[in-house]
Amino acid sequence: MGAPMARNLARAGFRVRVWNRTSAKAEALADVAEVSGSPAEAARGAAFVVTLLADGDAVAATVEREGEALAAMEPTAVWAQMSTIGIEATERLSALADERGIAFVDAPVLGTKAPAEQGQLVVLASGSDDAQERCDPLFHPLAQKVLWLGGAGTGTRLKLVLNTWLLSLVEGLGEAIALAESLGVDPRRFLEAIDGGPLGPAYAQIKGEMMIERAFEPSFPLRLGQKDARLALEAAAASGARLVALEATLGQLARAVDAGHGEEDLAAAVYASLADA
């Protein structure tokens, strides 16, 4: 996600510096960006600092501990935290920004690799009114839609809601395809039956074809879907909601990850339902 976003920002005229925990991934952007030796080096003097990592601990380590990027940020900088890290981590990082007097924007994205490459993400942004005005030029090259949702943390809350729906869709799709195959029904006829109607979102066609072909080139890894399910369940438990279906979905995702499919696309969740898996 971060690499195509960096390219789109450079294409839009931004001067971009990049850092990654895996240096080769940052080096691959050397044609459009300056490759930094540390998070602090990347953040120093920047008008915007974007973090896009796997989880809250990784973001905290990058900006506060080993990386010290937060200490290097200018007082006038905007920190756009665009990772999906859950409510607790978002609140913790927002408090760190407040301590330093840095404007914090909670802005997770909806979309995977291809929308990121095409600048067609949906940004779920939340923060101060002043930060909104300042961030519009940053988000424009990345997104087909930017939703400003209120105070920082609201974007993360909506992302958890959306992920709950998305993960339930993928699990249900996998079970439908597994059932079709076990009954001797061509699963493509299932996709054909729902295509174009209210039961058939385009996402089902994309992921369903991957499941049928058993071809799982990752646009979003299964292990991160497992992480996102845990974050949603943690938020639900803290707020008093009980998400029984998502609990079952997490169990299915865990089975597929334990079977060795964690680095494959989220559609590999189907392996938890297949009779021959």
31 pLDDT higher than 90: yes
Total count of residues recorded for the chain:
277
Residue showing tokens 């109607």: 197
Measure the CA–CA gap between 29 and 36, rounded to whole angstroms.
11
Q: What is the pLDDT of residues 85-94, one digit of tens each?
A: 999 999 999 9
Topology adopted by domain 156-272: N-(1-d-carboxylethyl)-l-norvaline Dehydrogenase; domain 2 (1.10.1040)
228 pLDDT higher than 90: yes
DSSP 8-state class, residue 36: P
Q: Is 274 exposed, middle or buried (0-12, 13-18, 19+ CB in 10 A)?
A: middle
Backbone angles phi, psi at 16, to 5 degrees: -115, 135
Domain map (residue ranges) of the chain: 2-150, 156-272
pLDDT of residue 37: 93
What residues form DSSP beta bridges with 126? 106
H-helix or E-strand spanning residue 123: strand 121-125
DSSP 8-state class, residue 141: T
Q: What is the pLDDT averaged over residues 205-232?
A: 97
Name the superfamily (CATH) of residues 2-150. Answer: NAD(P)-binding Rossmann-like Domain (3.40.50.720)
Q: Cβ(111)–Cβ(122) under 8 Å?
A: yes
199 pLDDT higher than 90: no
Q: How confident is the model at residue 66 (pLDDT cuts 50, 70, 90)?
A: low
pLDDT of residue 135: 95
pLDDT of residue 277: 66
* Mean pLDDT score across all residues of the chain: 95
Q: What is the pLDDT of residues 137-191, one digit of tens each?
A: 999 999 999 999 999 999 999 999 999 999 999 999 999 999 999 999 999 999 9
Q: How confident is the model at residue 213 (pLDDT cuts 50, 70, 90)?
A: very high
Q: Helices H, strands E: what count in the chain?
A: 13, 8
